[in-house]
Homo-oligomer: A and B are copies of this chain.
Amino acid sequence: MKFSITVTLKKDVLDPQGKVVQNTLINMGMNNLKSIRQGKHFEVEVEDKDQTLAEKKVDMMCKKLLVNLIIEDYKITKI
């Protein structure tokens, strides 16, 4: 069973990286760009039959390792 996880910085948390990328894209002439935020993406495969159980496990991985809950939000999607 495969899941995708996207991890993004919480709103209001400074995103120095996004800022630089946005400025660069605008300088490169992409002037219709309104905003860009950068985050992380994981593709996880777990060996489980039961989807709820599997999802719970993936959620645990996020909480315990993949996500810094103090500054990041995350979303899990089955793929």
A8 pairs with B41, CB closer than 8 A: yes
Name the residue in A40, A44, A54 with the highest tally of chain B Cβ atoms < 10 Å from its Cβ: A44
Residues of B within 8 A of A60 (CB): 30
How many subunits of this chain does the assembly comprise?
A: 2
Q: For chain A, give the interface size range.
A: 20 to 34
Chain B residue at smallest Cβ distance from A47: B32
Q: What 0/1 pattern do residues 37 to 79 of A give for CB contact below 8 A with B?
A: 1111111111110000010010011001110000000000000
A sample of 16 inter-chain contacts (CB < 8 A) reads A7-B41, A25-B65, A28-B64, A33-B46, A33-B47, A33-B61, A34-B45, A34-B46, A35-B43, A35-B44, A35-B45, A36-B42, A36-B44, A38-B42, A39-B40, A39-B42
